[in-house]
Each structure stands twice: as C-alpha cells, then as structure tokens.
Amino acid sequence: MPLFPIDNQPLADVSAARAAHAPVALITGGNVGIGRVTAIALAQAGYQVVIAGRSLERTQPVLDQIRSLALGPEALFLPLDLASLSSVRECAGQFKSLNLPLHLLINNAGVAGLRGKTVDGFEMAFGVNHLGHFLLTHLLLPDLTASGPARVVTVSSRAHKRTAGIDWDALQSPTRSWTGIDEYAVSKLANLLFSAELARRTQGTGVSCYSLHPGVVDTEIWRALPDWARPLLRWRGLITAEEGAQTTLHCALHAPVSESGLYFAKSQVAHTAPLGQDKALAQQLWARSEEWVKP
C-alpha cells in the first residue's frame, strides 16, 4: 500500500532536510477524538507527526489542518489496520523506509463494544487494543532506542478495574459478552500491564513508558455499543476530546522519566487495580503475546 504525505505526493518527494531537526511522533488513530487533538498539539509542539490509521480519506482533514499551521515538517499518513498483524508489520516496515528517527510512539487507537474476532483469530478488543499495539511497539522499539531519549505512551482506561483477570482461552474466541465491555476491560488491563513490563524491559535504554486513563471521552470509540448503552455513558458524564487528550499530552511531553512504567489519570500518577501491579501476570501476558505475534 502506498504512503502519503499530506499533499498526496510520494514520500520520496518529502524533503529529508526539512525533517532533520524535528522530533518525530507516530500516533495510531490520530484522525478522530483524542488522537486528533493529540496529533495537532504535537505538531504545534514542533513534532513531525506520522498518523497511522485505516483510512487516508478520514485522516486527510487532520493532515490538512496540521499543514495549515505551517509550523514545520508535513504530517504523514501510514496505512494501519490493528486488527491485522500483517498490516501492523507492513506499517512498521513502511515507517522504517522513511529513514526517520522515532522519539515518541503513542498507542492511541482502540475499539469498544465491537464484537467478533480479528483476521488472526483473536477476540476483537484484545486483538486491536493490545495485540496490534504490542507488535507495533515491538517492531519499532529499535528505532525508539536508537533515537533516545524516546517515549511510548499507551492509552489504557480505568475500565481495567472492571475485570477480575485474564481468561487466556477467551482471547482466542469471539467476543462473548453482549456489549463487549467485559472484553474491553480486559484489553485495557492488557494495555496497562504491557506498558509496565515494557518500562521494566527498557530500563536504562533511554526509552520511557507511560499508560493512562484519558477519562470517559465523547468520541467515536463508543460507536459500536448498543443504542441502549450509550445513554448510560452520557449519564456518567462524558468529557470532550480536548479534555481527554490532556493526560496523553502530559505523558508525551511533561511526565518525568523517573515516572516511567506508571499509570496516569488527570495528568498525574494514579492508582491501578491490584491486577495492574501484578508483575507475574504482566510477564505472562508478554510471553503469550510474543508467541501470538510470531509470523
């Protein structure tokens, strides 16, 4: 699949000199919601932004808006379907072909309430929210290390507190719950555990890692929920995408390196559920994920 800068010209035409001194951030799902707000804010902070997502057409308005800022290098688009591990590999390979450094990876994209299995046979929320990002981070970790200091920011959720554990067999079965929220909670626990274990494994390499709860944000992530469930979210009090992006931006731009491996909410370190601090569970998740993403 082709890669596109914002003017739809081949990437070979993008000036390498223009990007030479700008830090580079890759964000998944940067076309809508908190991802869009984050991508624009990073461009304003001087980053060259690379947005990885499923649709150039839906991403183009964000790319155009960043271009209109005229602050630095043009934003780029990379095709990525997190429900397909082969697509993740292609995305990582295409990023490497840009010959850019990578200073910031934001694992932002996600699904909630979407039922079924990925093309690789994993429960949909787990496959998209965790496993796709696990593989993407694994493949880009050499680029992050070489560009250090670098950061990996993974959007988790306080929904991780709603699960009593990880049913390993269920992760390779279609979504079982009617709303998909139970599976979403497991995937968000996986995000948190992954970030903490990644921090332990990258200690001393110049890569720091953060996970976060953005708040219950009024975005398209809830589009797959049954109609009757959406009013319940509004009753709980949804916040705007601009408000929801603040903790991501704090972790990306301001959180101390000494807080690597921690979980944030409202732009400060927050408590996790006991399972979120289970190192043995995190190691088991890592080992299983490694096996699952092998070609």
Active-site amino acid positions: 184
What residues form DSSP beta bridges with 152?
A: 105, 209
Which of 69, 58, 62 has the alpha carbon at shortest distance from 39?
A: 62
Backbone torsion region of residue 128, taken as left when φ is above 0, otherwise alpha when ψ lies between -120 and 50, otherwise beta = alpha
- Helix (H) or strand (E) holding 52, with range, is strand 48-53
Burial (0-12, 13-18, 19+ Cβ within 10 Å), 235: exposed
Which is nearest to 262 in space by CA: 213, 217, 216? Answer: 213
* Coil, strand or helix at 240: coil
Residues 6+ apart with CB under 8 A from 90: 1, 79
Enter the tokens of residue 229.
């469930």
Query: What 3-state DSSP class applies to 260?
Result: coil
Q: Shortest CA distance to 289 belongs to which of 139, 151, 90?
A: 139
